[in-house]
Amino acid sequence: MHTPNDLHALRAGVIGTGFIGPVHVEALRRLGIRVTAICDVAGLADKAASALAIPLAFGDYRDLLACPDVDVVHITTPNRFHAEMSLAALRAGKHVVCEKPLAMNTRETARIVKAAGAAGRVFAVNYNVRFYPAVLALRRLVARGELGDIIHVNGSYMQDWLFKDTDYNWRLLPQEGGKLRAVADIGTHWMDTASFILGAGIDSVMADLATWHTTRKRPLGEVLTFAQADAKMKYAAYEVETDDFASVLLRFANGARGNLGVSQVAAGRKNCIRIEIYGSKKSAWWCSEEPEMLHFGNRDGANETAVRATPAFGDGAAGLMDYPPGHVEGFPDTFKMNFRNIYAAIAGGTAERLFASVRDGHQEVAVCEAILASNQARKWVNVQCGRSQQPKPE
């Protein structure tokens, strides 16, 4: 299949119409990329196509993959479908943008790495947090040695949308989302972000996983991510096997140490990712609840705060922000900038590939497996996926 070398000539098809599928559609359109097709179970696809003005609606993803008007396939379904759909999309000659985590386990992710290498298509995993301007700025500052050697990294990803035992979503079920939940769903965002900033993967972990609501109530009927409970809803009780919160100690390949807190039962924290980097020259920290501000900590001088898109912020996010300072760029903009970088690569551009690759997606699932093993064994566990252990292309 021939890939157009103009970003605006590329056409996207999106599989999945839940919370995140429409976020992809909106970001693509802000870039001037046409979304020609959408897919979900019959009924939902038609509804989304009409709400979002998308020309083609499919009830079977294989029909979207066979569609000649789709160059790039976005997979925004529950995790259990990611592997099957990714492999089929590559076989159909499409480029792929897959939601995180890449798949349910490393057996699946290793197959996707091999298939993507053999297909010679661009395969990106949607770790969008990389594209907050402050994260891009931090990466550049660390690479230039402006913080010195990195001593340790600290942070958290906190949410409260699963705080109540009546809060429900497919992610709660291991058969839909995988054995890990909070860690896989949001913890991997933090770990990918930290590795991206440091330029170093995670080598070993020591984890403590916990489930606050060991029994939850499932509404009879489907519920969207972040949906609020309805007083008239009827429920059925079920046992919860996945983690509500976790604490993880980390060792990075460059010798830095890290500690991460993750929770989906943290009242008041809607969607809060925070990272603090402590270097031998100075520190830097950032939080998504105040996305425009990058803070620097000094041992002797006064601490400093740089506002996005001012000289003090640095140039790490150049070309990946569109608004002047004070005109806040946040969550939806990270999708836009991620897709700008991905689609430029698909169109054959030479800009640095900053998006998470299929190997990065594989690495995050390998870290999840080490976290599970560490929690079970109550000891440090090495991640079985150093760069040297990565699967080779077929």
Name the residues that contact ligand SOE, by CB under 6 A.
19, 159, 185-186, 189, 225, 271
Tell me how far, at minimum, the Cβ of 63 lies from ligand SOE, in Å.
26
Beta carbon nearer to ligand SOE, 225 or 280: 225
Tell me how far, at minimum, the Cβ of 257 lies from ligand SOE, in Å.
25
C-alpha dihedral, 177 to 178 to 179 to 184, nearest 10°? -80
Tell me how far, at minimum, the Cβ of 178 lies from ligand SOE, in Å.
12
Tell me how far, at minimum, the Cβ of 311 lies from ligand SOE, in Å.
30
Contacts of 29 (CB under 8 A, 6+ apart): 35
Beta carbon nearer to ligand SOE, 187 or 316: 187
Beta carbon nearer to ligand SOE, 122 or 273: 273
Contacts of 12 (CB under 8 A, 6+ apart): 24, 28, 33, 34, 35, 36, 70, 71, 72, 73, 74
Nearest to 288 by CA among 237, 328, 251: 328
Beta carbon nearer to ligand SOE, 225 or 376: 225
CB 198 within 8 A of CB 153: yes
Beta carbon nearer to ligand SOE, 159 or 338: 159
Could you tell me the CA-to-CA distances from 78 to 21, 36, 104, 172, 378 in Å, in that order? Answer: 11, 22, 10, 11, 30
Beta carbon nearer to ligand SOE, 254 or 271: 271
C-alpha dihedral, 105 to 108 to 112 to 115, nearest 10°? 160
Tell me how far, at minimum, the Cβ of 3 lies from ligand SOE, in Å.
28
Strand segments (E) across the chain = 11-15, 34-39, 56-58, 72-75, 95-98, 123-125, 150-158, 202-210, 215-219, 235-239, 245-252, 257-263, 272-279, 283-287, 293-297, 304-307, 356-357, 381-382
Tell me how far, at minimum, the Cβ of 205 lies from ligand SOE, in Å.
20
Beta carbon nearer to ligand SOE, 225 or 389: 225
Instruction: Report the distance separating Cα 315 and Cα 309, nearest Å.
Output: 8
Question: Which residue minimizes CB distance to ligand SOE?
Answer: 185
Tell me how far, at minimum, the Cβ of 134 lies from ligand SOE, in Å.
16
Beta carbon nearer to ligand SOE, 172 or 256: 172
Tell me how far, at minimum, the Cβ of 350 lies from ligand SOE, in Å.
29
Tell me how far, at minimum, the Cβ of 161 lies from ligand SOE, in Å.
7
Beta carbon nearer to ligand SOE, 204 or 357: 357
Cβ-count burial 12-38 (b if 16+ within 10 Å, e if not): bbbbbbbebbbbbbebbeebebbbbbb
Nearest to 362 by CA among 13, 46, 115: 115
